Structure 1
Amino acid sequence: MASLRTVLPPPVEEPQLYTDLAGWWPLFSPPEEYGEEAEDLLPMLHPEEGPARTMLELGSGGGSLAFHLKKHFTLTLTDRSAEMVAVSRKVNPECEHRVGDMRSLRLGRTFDRVMVHDAIMYAVEREDARATVHTAAAHCRPGGRVVLLPDCVRETFEPLTESGGHDGPDGRGMRYLMWTWDPDPDDETFETAFAYLLREADGTVSMSQERHRFGLFRRDDWLAWMQEAGCPATTRRDPWNREVFIGVREQD
């Protein structure tokens, strides 16, 4: 009997969840899962301040959070994955979309608000995280707000297991398992193993799996990078025990 055991390869820079499997994103993490989070974010973003109410999201992925925020802001959504941008365009056709890397993107204009959600966890090196903060600051007008929402900082990291998934109206379905741990507590990364079960409309079921690596930095690291970028910040703990960094862009 053939062995069912499969050894997962090391994490790659371009996970298949955001490339080959991007079309499954609406069944992995759909907009309806983000309504409560959007409501919690709004007081930190203060959309009522200023007449323009423009916002840039770096690493916006499939646009599930943006689906709720676009009622309050004129959004520009960016992601380095062209496949994920294509998904977001279907969800948020009224929003401007750009393909670009949050570490180096320069659009040549500023916004009232700039937000980086959990995509910032893919900044696995200190210089990547610092560069992303500088990108956010470069696109924020003086007096505007930069909001960073890493899933965790070193002080709040905990191993965990999550599962979920949804069925689509076309008969497709997806279920997933996520297993998060820190292989080396002495470095500044952790990993999550993903397993995906994918059911096609004709009933065919396939499985895919991969590992993702994420950056894990201290609260003071993020505060120092924001201060250096000209966005001195305060922090707030949200209902999901995440540290939210809220910076105000200094005058040039």
Structure 2
Amino acid sequence: MWAGGIMDIFYGRIAEWWPVISPLEEYASEGAEIRRVLHEARPAARSLLELGSGGGHVAFHLKAGLDCLLTDLSPDMLEVSRRLNPECGHLAADMRTLDLDRRFDLVLAHDAIAYMTTEADLRAAFATAYRHLKPGGLALFIPDDVLETFEPGEADAFGGDSPDGRSARAMDWVGELETDGTAMVHYAFLLREADGRMSSMAESHRVGVFARKDWELWLAEEGFAVETVQERTDEDRTPRFFFLGTRPRD
């Protein structure tokens, strides 16, 4: 899905720009909400596995008091995260096939879960989360959209300025829902080096869009006790659904 594929620019060639393109401070509110949900559900949790951790910006706001293992397909994004979260473990792995001899109190799959474009992919990620949870442990899945909230044509602009003199501006544009239940998200990047040199590039990512009822059904069929809540946010967007799955106690 990543290596040699259509996402080589964002998660490969310009991965080192991630802290400039998507500044850490932009994740503070979101991280606080995820931490609130996890803490209220499992206040005694001490370990967390993240599937699709990217540059580690979400983990940065969650890691206090937790033994964290962060996994992602992109070695370049993991290197960015290592610099930000040196106290966390890091592992290059596919969320569909990861199989460790270890169980965790918590498993988190944030927006990277959107790259599961088929039912089989999504179920495989659910199975990975389930087998890595301790009995009574909690998995939290946070897709950007479900079918009921998906809005084609949405466009967002983002970016930032780094203390080292670099600047980045980016935009994403959400395409139409296709007949196979996927959509393309188109990205454009404008990067300014500290010496003023400019570069621009673009690429497109395919994401899966599934109905809320399918998320809940497939999680239950993978063995989870399922609860769905909507996030609390003051951002100007539709609140996302948080899918919580508990692995029953043996």
Provide the TM-score with structure 2 as the length reference. Answer: 0.92
Q: Does 1:135 align with 2:133?
A: no
Q: Which moved more, 1:235-244 or 1:100-109?
A: 235-244
Aligned amino acid, residue 88 of structure 1: S
Residue of structure 2 equivalent to 1:61: 54
Residue of structure 2 equivalent to 1:176: 170
Q: How does 1:149-160 map to 2 (within 5 A)?
A: 149-159=142-152, 160=154
Distance in 2 separating the partners of 1:142 and 1:183: 37
Distance in 1 separating the partners of 2:186 and 2:135: 40
SS of residue in 2 equivalent to 1:230: coil
1:48 deviates by 8.3
Q: Does the aligned pair in 2 maintain the 1:113–1:140 contact within 8 Å?
A: yes
Residue of structure 1 equivalent to 2:86: 93
SS of residue in 1 equivalent to 2:105: strand
1:52 deviates by 5.4
Q: How does 1:9-88 map to 2 (within 5 A)?
A: 12-46=5-39, 49=42, 51=44, 53-88=46-81
Aligned amino acid, residue 61 of structure 1: G
Q: Does 1:194 align with 2:187?
A: yes
Q: Does the aligned pair in 1 maintain the 2:6–2:204 contact within 8 Å?
A: no
Residue of structure 2 equivalent to 1:162: 156
Where does structure 1 lack aligned partners over 5 or more consecutive residues? 1-11
Q: From 226, 231, 248, give the equivalent of 2:246.
A: 248
1:30 deviates by 2.3
| 1:39-70 Cα shifts (integer Å, max 9, x gaps) | 11123212784655101100000000111101
Distance in 2 separating the partners of 1:85 and 1:16: 15
Q: Does the aligned pair in 2 maintain the 1:47–1:73 contact within 8 Å?
A: no
SS of residue in 1 equivalent to 2:95: coil
| 1:57-92 Cα shifts (integer Å, max 9, x gaps) | 000000001111011422110101100100000010
Residue of structure 1 equivalent to 2:100: 107
Distance in 2 separating the partners of 1:97 and 1:47: 26
Where does structure 2 lack aligned partners over 5 or more consecutive residues? none
SS of residue in 1 equivalent to 2:102: coil
Change (3 A) 1:48 1:137: closer
SS of residue in 1 equivalent to 2:55: coil
Provide the TM-score with structure 1 as the length reference. Answer: 0.91
* Identity %, equivalent residues: 45
1:225 deviates by 1.8
Q: Which runs of 4+ in 1 moved over 6 A?
A: none
| 1:163-191 Cα shifts (integer Å, max 9, x gaps) | 0101111111110011112152x321011
Number of equivalenced pairs: 241
Decide which structure has the larger Cα Rg and report it: 1
Distance in 1 separating the partners of 2:56 and 2:177: 31
Aligned amino acid, residue 70 of structure 2: L
Residue of structure 2 equivalent to 1:220: 213
